Amino acid sequence: MKQGIPFLMVLAIAGQLFASDKVRITVNNYTAESGEFVIHAAVAGKPMELLCDQDSPFCSAPKPGEYWMIDWTVPTIEYRGDFVCKDVDLYRIAAKGERHSKVGEYCLVEKGSR
């Protein structure tokens, strides 16, 4: 039984490290700048930008509308060596009974911090 306790602690710590938050986000539009998509959005009226490299397999330019944003709280990532940001995923909001489909992976930046 003593061997099981450390394993449970490792699972609990790992769960905390990779916990995520789901937030509703409104995508207003996007621009293509220097090989990256800059998605202009807002969460509860607070302006945000989502960035991704156009040549990345997980980068896409979402259409304006409502999405779920999954905020992977740990770890933060360094974006192009310029600044540190949160790694987030965007999902289409599905109708009842349907699965939310992933739109892409982005670097979340609050307006004015880059």
Joined together, the tokens standing for residue 23 give 């937030």
Q: Give mean pLDDT, residues 71-76.
A: 63
Q: Give mean pLDDT, residues 22-35.
A: 93
Ranked by mean pLDDT, which of 16-25, 40-49, 105-114 comes out on top? Answer: 40-49
Measured between its terminal Cα atoms, the distance across the chain in Å is: 51
All structural domains of the chain with their residue ranges: 20-110
pLDDT > 90 fraction of the chain, expressed in percent and rounded:
46
Angstrom distance (rounded) from CA 87 to CA 52? 10
**Which pLDDT value is given to residue 91?**
93
pLDDT for residue 74 is more than 90: no
pLDDT for residue 75 is more than 70: no
Cis peptide before 75 (omega within 30 of 0): yes
Taking the CA atoms of residue 89, residue 61, residue 23 and residue 93 in that order, the dihedral angle to the nearest 10 degrees is -100
pLDDT for residue 95 is more than 80: no
Name the least confident of 2-6, 32-36, 47-51, 99-103. 2-6
- Give the count of beta carbons closer than 10 Å to the beta carbon of residue 19: 11
**Which pLDDT value is given to residue 79?**
56
